[in-house]
Amino acid sequence: MKKIKTAFIFKPSNPYMSKTAWATTYYHFFMNALNRHPELEMAYFPAEKQFDASKLRDKFDIILLWENHPWGSPDELSGIQNLDIPVICRINDADDAKPKGKIPYHEKYKIDHYFGYIPEPFFHKHYPKSFKYKEIFYGVEPKLYENLTPYSKRIKERILCSGAAGRTDLLYRLKDIRRGTA
């Protein structure tokens, strides 16, 4: 079986592409899960400001982008307009497409197709109907859940209150009573 040669271009300063970020879903998806896929041959291209995409010509079947915004992808992908390689892009929060100016990157990065975990109607509520989108499920990395201690054995005492708690000083209690929030 011929593998699909995939060039993944991302900005290395993006904290979500680190194993040490508070949320590692994207890191594990791009760095682990895609490598396990039997039909993909992954190559990684970290670049901060500018990436010369013309060097990918005749070497890759697809270009994969972290996001359609320079927060997660390089600011400039020079030469991408002259390539005949399809560009596939992950989207993040669809509702910030207009406020963060992500839609112009469709042309700038020459994006052919988008993917993400959000439902298609929500994507097309914020992006033009002509943009192609596929919903995929990702984010559960099996090896992170091996050999876990059961919850009942980790917690030795009961948790009586979880979540945010207000200040208990008398002055703050009186203010809460006065506001009607106590």
Cβ atoms 89, 72 nearer than 8 A: no
Domain, as residue range, for 35: 4-148
Query: For the purposes of burial, counting CB atoms within 10 Å of the CB of 49, is it exposed (0-12), middle (13-18) or buried (19 or more)?
Result: exposed
182 in any annotated domain:
no
Cβ atoms 139, 25 nearer than 8 A: yes
154 in any annotated domain:
no
- Per-residue pLDDT 10s for the chain (182 aa) are 899 999 999 999 998 888 888 888 888 899 999 999 999 999 999 999 999 999 999 999 999 999 998 888 998 999 999 999 999 999 988 888 888 888 888 999 999 999 999 999 999 999 999 999 999 887 777 777 788 888 777 766 666 666 566 677 888 788 878 887 76
In the prediction, which pLDDT does 162 show? 60
What token pair was written down for 79? 């030469």
86 in any annotated domain:
yes
User: Pairing relation of β-strands 87-90 and 113-116?
Assistant: parallel
In the prediction, which pLDDT does 157 show? 67
pTM of the model: 0.76
181 in any annotated domain:
no
Of the candidates 91, 87, 99, the one whose C-alpha atom is nearest the C-alpha of residue 122 is 91
16 in any annotated domain:
yes
73 in any annotated domain:
yes
Q: How many domains does the chain have?
A: 1
In the prediction, which pLDDT does 4 show? 97
Q: What is the DSSP-derived secondary structure letter of residue 71?
A: T
Cβ atoms 105, 77 nearer than 8 A: no
172 in any annotated domain:
no
62 in any annotated domain:
yes
